[in-house]
Chains A and B, each alone.
Chain A
Amino acid sequence: MNNLKKEKNIKLLQGNEACVEGAILAGVRFFAGYPITPSTEIAEGMARRLPRLGGKFIQMEDEIASMAAVIGASIAGLKSLTATSGPGFCLKQENIGFAAINEIPCVVVDVQRGGPSTGLPTKPSQGDMMQARWGTHGDHPIIALAPSTVNEILTLTIKAVNFSEKYRTPVILLLDEVIAHMREKVEIPTQKDIEVIDRKKPTVPPEEYLPFKPDSDGVPPMANFGEGYRYHITGLIHNYKGLPTSNSQEIDAFIRRLHNKIQKNVKDIIINEKYFLDDAKIALIAYGSVARAAERTVKLAREEELKVGLLKLLTIWPFPFEEVNRLAQQVDLIIVPEMNLGQMVLEVERAAQGRCRVVSYSRVDGELINPIEILGKIQEEISK
Chain B
Amino acid sequence: MKTVIDDYIREEMFPHMWCPGCGNGIVLGAIIRAIDDLKWDRDKIVMISGIGCSSRITGYVDFCSMNTTHGRALPFATGIKMANLDLKVVVVMGDGDCSAIGGNHFIHAARRNIDLTAIIINNMIYGMTGGQYSPLTPTGRFGTTAPYGNIDQAFDLTSLAMAAGASYVARGTVYHVRQSISLMKKALDKKGFSVVEMISDCPISFGKMNKMRTAVEMLKWIKDIAVSKKAWENLSVEERKEKFVIGEFLDIDRPEYNERYNEIIKKAQKMGGNE
Q: Which A residues have a C-beta under 8 Å from some C-beta of B?
A: 30, 32, 48-49, 51-52, 54, 56, 58, 60-62, 64-66, 68-78, 80, 94-95, 98, 224-236, 241, 243-244
Contacts and interface: CB of A to CB of B under 8 A. Distances in A.
B64 interface: yes
Contacts of B275: 48-49
Interface residues of B, number: 47
A154 B275 CA distance: 15
A58 B43 contact: no
B139 interface: no
B82 interface: yes
Given A225-B87, A230-B43, A230-B64, A98 B69 contact: yes
24 contacts: A32-B79, A51-B267, A58-B79, A61-B108, A65-B74, A65-B105, A68-B69, A68-B72, A69-B82, A73-B79, A73-B82, A75-B66, A76-B79, A76-B83, A80-B79, A80-B83, A225-B80, A226-B44, A226-B64, A230-B65, A231-B65, A232-B65, A243-B13, A244-B59
B72 A64 contact: yes
B166 to A, nearest CB: 15
Given A72-B75, A226-B64, 13 more contacts: A30-B82, A32-B75, A58-B79, A66-B75, A69-B75, A72-B83, A75-B79, A95-B72, A98-B68, A224-B84, A226-B44, A226-B86, A231-B65
Given A51-B269, A72-B78, A232 B72 contact: no
A77 B84 contact: yes
Contacts of B69: 68, 94-95, 98, 235
Interface string B144-161: 000000000000000000
A30 B78 CA distance: 12
B261 interface: yes
Contacts of B62: 230
A74 B76 CA distance: 10
B238 interface: no
A76 B75 contact: no
B271 to A, nearest CB: 8
B79 A71 contact: yes
A69 B79 contact: yes
Contacts of B51: 235
Contacts of B81: 72, 76
Determine the main DSSP class of A at the interface with B: mixed
Contacts, number: 147
A56 to B, nearest CB: 5
B163 interface: no
Given A54-B265, A225-B80, A230-B43, A236 B67 contact: yes
A314 B51 CA distance: 37
Given A52-B269, A68-B68, A62 B80 contact: no
B41 to A, nearest CB: 10
Contacts of B79: 30, 32, 58, 68-76, 80
A233 B75 contact: no
Interface of B: 10, 12-13, 42-44, 46, 48, 51, 58-59, 62-69, 72, 74-84, 86-87, 104-105, 107-108, 261, 264-265, 267-269, 271-273, 275
A232 B66 contact: yes
B273 A61 contact: no
Determine the main DSSP class of B at the interface with A: helix
A75 B272 CA distance: 29
B100 to A, nearest CB: 14
A60 B112 CA distance: 10
Given A30-B82, A95-B72, A226-B44, A233 B65 contact: yes
A71 B76 contact: yes
B68 A75 contact: no
Contacts of A72: 48, 75-81, 83
A224 B261 CA distance: 22
A340 to B, nearest CB: 29
Contacts of A54: 265, 269
B75 A64 contact: yes
B265 A51 contact: yes
Given A60-B75, A72-B78, A75-B66, A30 B83 contact: yes
Nearest to A97: B69
A236 to B, nearest CB: 7
A66 B72 CA distance: 10
Contact of A226 (B84, B108, B261): B84
B49 to A, nearest CB: 9
B4 to A, nearest CB: 17
B265 A232 contact: no
Contact of A76 (B13, B65, B80, B264): B80
Nearest to A80: B79
Contacts of B72: 64-65, 68, 95
Contacts of B58: 232, 234
A243 B14 CA distance: 12
Contacts of B13: 243
B269 A235 contact: no
A58 B264 contact: no
Closest 4 pairs (CB-CB, A-B): A72-B79, A69-B79, A76-B83, A68-B75
Contacts of B267: 51
B83 A243 contact: no
Given A52-B273, A235-B67, A228 B83 contact: no
